[in-house]
Amino acid sequence: MRERLRSRFRVGMLACGLALLSGCSNHFGPGIAGLAASDGWQPLPIGSWVLNDGLAVEAMSFCPRATCAQQGFAALLTLEGREADALERQLASDPARLARDFAKPAAAPATKAKTKPAPRPKTTTTVARFTESDAGGLLVEISADATGKRAATAILFSREQGRLRVALAVGSEAARARAEALATWRSR
């Protein structure tokens, strides 16, 4: 009798675990075709995200240091309405202005104590435009002057059926970020 109860308990726990896993399976995006799991890329869960009206995440993938020689992030987004118009205006603006905007530090939280903020490291930010067949592109490179550390973001964008489609990739090297953004763009 006791053995049958243990067996039923195990079967019940297995069924419960499978139900939980199947309930979570639709939260992960489809991944990005050109950024394969065999190369270390992992799709991120996007199914339960609450986003602004007019913004939809189609796919997001991350390549962590543990599985990739160089850490990376890529996403495919669709924007509609005012959100699309505002982003398209910003992406079309002067590259020098974009470089200044990217170089601005994030606003520090307000503190009551009057402490002197830590000196901000000197960085150099460049923005360059490029095109890929049916899309405009931006390549933003940021490098720390003192340490030589670098980061790059590549963005491809185009209007399709009234919506703004955006593919972006972030990595430590400009060429790699651009290639990953292109792979993301082609997977749409």
Strand pairing category for 72-79 and 123-132:
unpaired
Strand pairing category for 42-43 and 55-63:
antiparallel
pLDDT single digits (tens) 120-132 = 678 888 899 999 9
- Res 43: pLDDT: 92
Whole-number Å distance between alpha carbons of 120 and 139: 23
How far is CA 117 from each of CA 111, 112, 125, 128, 146, rounded to the nearest angstrom?
Answer: 11, 13, 22, 32, 19
- Res 53: pLDDT: 77
Q: DSSP string of 13-39?
A: HHHHHHHHHHHHGGGB----TTS-GGG
Report the chain's mean pLDDT, rounded to a whole number: 80
Average pLDDT of the residues in 86-101: 81
- Res 113: pLDDT: 59
Is the pLDDT assigned to residue 66 strictly greater than 80? yes
Average pLDDT of the residues in 158-173: 95
Contact (CB, 8 A) for 150 and 142: yes
Cα dihedral 131, 178, 120, 118 in deg (nearest 10):
140
Is the pLDDT assigned to residue 11 strictly greater than 50? no
Identify the CA nearest to 79 among candidates 155, 160, 153: 160
Q: Which residue has the higher pLDDT, 66 or 1?
A: 66
Of 38-42, 75-79, 120-124, minimum mean pLDDT range: 120-124
Whole-number Å distance between alpha carbons of 153 and 23: 34
pLDDT single digits (tens) 145-165 = 888 899 999 999 999 999 999
Identify the CA nearest to 74 among candidates 107, 106, 115, 44: 44
